[in-house]
Amino acid sequence: MEYLDIFINEIYKIFFLVVPILVSVALIVWLDRRVWGFVQKRRGPNVVGPFGLFQTLADALKYIFKEIIIPASSNKIIFILAPIVTMTLALVAWAVIPFGENLVLSDINIGILYLFAISSLGVYGIIMGGWASNSKYPFLGAIRSAAQMVSYEVSIGIIIINVLLCVGSLNLTDIVLAQKNIWFVIPLFPMFVIFFISALAETNRPPFDLPEAEAELVAGYQTEYSGMMYAMFWLGEYANILLMCAMGSILFLGGWLPPIDIYPFNVIPSPIWIIFKILFLFFLFAIVKAIVPRYRYDQLMRLGWKIFLPFSLLYVVLTASFLFYFDMLPTKEF
């Protein structure tokens, strides 16, 4: 009986985390298209609901009523599994994101590694979808994304090491609390820039959206998908983008902490701050999508392996030596 209580309590908490995330994914798609429209001097979606806010809901409704077409020569099980994997992985990672001092679903002491592991598993949805479609364009898209995501994970991992050197703990709450005096974006600003660009590549956003480059690959790994299965890929992708924004705001922008701990700022509740930071990072994502042309594939690989990797490694050495020389290494006992 005791277990049942815990179980129901957890499900209740998970429900109140997942529903806001799904709603905000819908709104974030609207924001993305709106920003994109304004940059190009268009209006963007503005018809359905106030300011067009319900556009995504209308789209989702349309997807639900469309027929799901499964190609005859596809590997059916893996074909159906792929969007489910993408969507699930994008949602489970939110379990460790702290929205406040004690406002976190599961406060595990390897939170950042968990986030990193889940985001590195995200490649499977794409590979499975691309291979199971049994068609040329999806397969090419899948192969591209496999190489791309594996290479940019390396630099994200090293950037995380940089932050961890300053924190001395893998727990996300500890990472945020370590930024009480100064957000890591200031001492580690180059790492923040590289993290942002790597996050663009990791989530297949423009200018690195080569797995679904419509000029070359129709729609990449999503070519054969239709109806709700396509919508799940799409929702999973945006949930992943939000997750990367959340990760960036926790690692560099001080999570739920206000910019300065004085009166008008510190009465605002902590979830508002982290949501504001996530929105700010997402706004940057949207602007980048609108103003930057797509990279060529060899340039993408060169950027990842020949520029970001050596530079972030060098910065690890710099950070470590700085902290060691000035005797600032975190030596918290656990």
Partner 1 sequence: MLFHSIFFYFFSIIAIFSALMVITSRSTVNSVFFLILDFISIGCLFIMVGAEFLGIIILIVYVGAVAVLFLFVVMMLNVAQQKQSWFIGKKSSHIPFGLVVSVIIFLELLVVLGGWKYKENVMSSSNLLLNESISNTHQIGRVMYTDYILYFQISGIILLLSMIGAIVLTYQKRDNIKKQSYINQISREKLTSIELKKVEFEKGVKIDD
Contacts of 156 by beta carbon, 8 Å cutoff, 6+ apart: 116, 119, 195, 198, 199, 202
Q: Cβ closer to partner 1: 29 or 115? A: 115
Counting every residue written for the chain, the total comes to 334
Q: Cβ closer to partner 1: 46 or 120? A: 120
For the bound state, the minimum distance from the C-beta of residue 143 to partner 1, rounded and expressed in Å, comes to 7
Tokens of 35: 């920003």
Q: Cβ closer to partner 1: 84 or 287? A: 84
User: What whole-number distance in Å separates Cα of residue 217 and Cα of residue 203?
Assistant: 18
For the bound state, the minimum distance from the C-beta of residue 116 to partner 1, rounded and expressed in Å, comes to 6
* Sole residue written with tokens 């985001």: 119
Q: Coil, strand or helix: which one is 17?
A: helix
For the bound state, the minimum distance from the C-beta of residue 127 to partner 1, rounded and expressed in Å, comes to 6
For the bound state, the minimum distance from the C-beta of residue 158 to partner 1, rounded and expressed in Å, comes to 13
User: What whole-number distance in Å separates Cα of residue 321 and Cα of residue 132?
Assistant: 48
For the bound state, the minimum distance from the C-beta of residue 160 to partner 1, rounded and expressed in Å, comes to 11
User: What whole-number distance in Å separates Cα of residue 187 and Cα of residue 27?
Assistant: 33
For the bound state, the minimum distance from the C-beta of residue 289 to partner 1, rounded and expressed in Å, comes to 24
Q: Cβ closer to partner 1: 93 or 231? A: 93
Q: Let me know: does 9 contact 19? Beta carbons within 8 Å.
A: no
For the bound state, the minimum distance from the C-beta of residue 151 to partner 1, rounded and expressed in Å, comes to 10
Q: Cβ closer to partner 1: 46 or 134? A: 134
Radius of gyration of the chain (CA): 21
| 33, amino acid identity | R
For the bound state, the minimum distance from the C-beta of residue 245 to partner 1, rounded and expressed in Å, comes to 21
Q: Cβ closer to partner 1: 117 or 318? A: 117
User: What whole-number distance in Å separates Cα of residue 167 and Cα of residue 320?
Assistant: 12
Q: Cβ closer to partner 1: 139 or 308? A: 139
Count each helix (H run) and each strand (E run) in the chain, helices first: 14, 0
Residue 23: CA count within 13 A, CB half-sphere: 6
Tokens of 173: 């709450």
User: What whole-number distance in Å separates Cα of residue 173 and Cα of residue 255?
Assistant: 9
User: What whole-number distance in Å separates Cα of residue 101 and Cα of residue 172?
Assistant: 11
Q: Let me know: does 247 contact 115? Beta carbons within 8 Å.
A: yes
Q: Cβ closer to partner 1: 52 or 304? A: 304
* Sole residue written with tokens 């990279």: 295
Q: Cβ closer to partner 1: 327 or 333? A: 333
For the bound state, the minimum distance from the C-beta of residue 123 to partner 1, rounded and expressed in Å, comes to 6
Tokens of 88: 């699930």
Residues near partner 1 (CB under 8 A) are 3, 75, 78, 108-110, 113-114, 116-117, 120-121, 123-124, 127-128, 131, 139, 142-143, 146-147, 150, 153, 170, 298, 333-334
